Amino acid sequence: MKTADAALPIVQMEQVCKKIGAKTIIDKLSFEVPRGEVFGFLGPNGAGKTTTIRMMVGLMSITEGDIRIGGHSIRTHFEEAIRHIGAIVENPEMYKFLSGYHNLVHYARMIPGISAQRIEEVIKLVGMENRIHDKVKTYSLGMRQRLGIAQALLHKPSVLILDEPTNGLDPAGIRELRDHLRKLTREEGISVIVSSHLLSEMELMCDRVAIIQNGSLVDVRLIKDFRQADDKLQVVFDLEPLDAARNLVKEVSLEAVYELRGETLVMTLDRTEVAAWNKRFVEAGINVFGIRTANKSLEDQFLEMTGSDQIA
Ligand SMILES: Nc1ncnc2c1ncn2[C@@H]1O[C@H](COP(=O)(O)OP(=O)(O)OP(=O)(O)O)[C@@H](O)[C@H]1O
Render each residue's pLDDT in the chain as its tens digit; 312 residues.
444 466 789 999 999 999 999 999 999 999 999 999 999 999 888 899 999 999 999 999 999 999 999 999 999 999 999 999 998 877 777 899 999 999 999 999 988 889 999 999 999 989 899 999 999 999 998 899 899 999 999 999 999 999 998 888 888 888 888 888 998 898 888 999 999 988 878 888 899 999 999 999 988 988 887 766 556 788 999 999 999 999 999 998 877 888 888 889 999 888 888 999 999 999 999 999 999 987 666 666 666 666 654 443
Residue whose Cα lies nearest atom 14 of ligand 1: it is: 48
Residue whose Cα lies nearest atom 5 of ligand 1: it is: 20
Q: What is the pTM of this model?
A: 0.77
Residues with CB under 6 A from ligand 1: 20, 23, 25, 43, 45-51, 197
Residue 49 CA to ligand 1 center (angstroms) comes to 8
Which residue out of 16, 17, 19, 49 has the highest number of ligand 1 atoms within 8 Å of its CB and is therefore the one to mutate?
49
Note the ipTM here: 0.94
Q: Which domains does the chain have, with CATH numbers?
A: 11-84+157-227 (3.40.50.300), 231-295 (3.30.70.100)
- CA 108/CA 156 separation, integer angstroms: 12
Residue 26 CA to ligand 1 center (angstroms) comes to 10
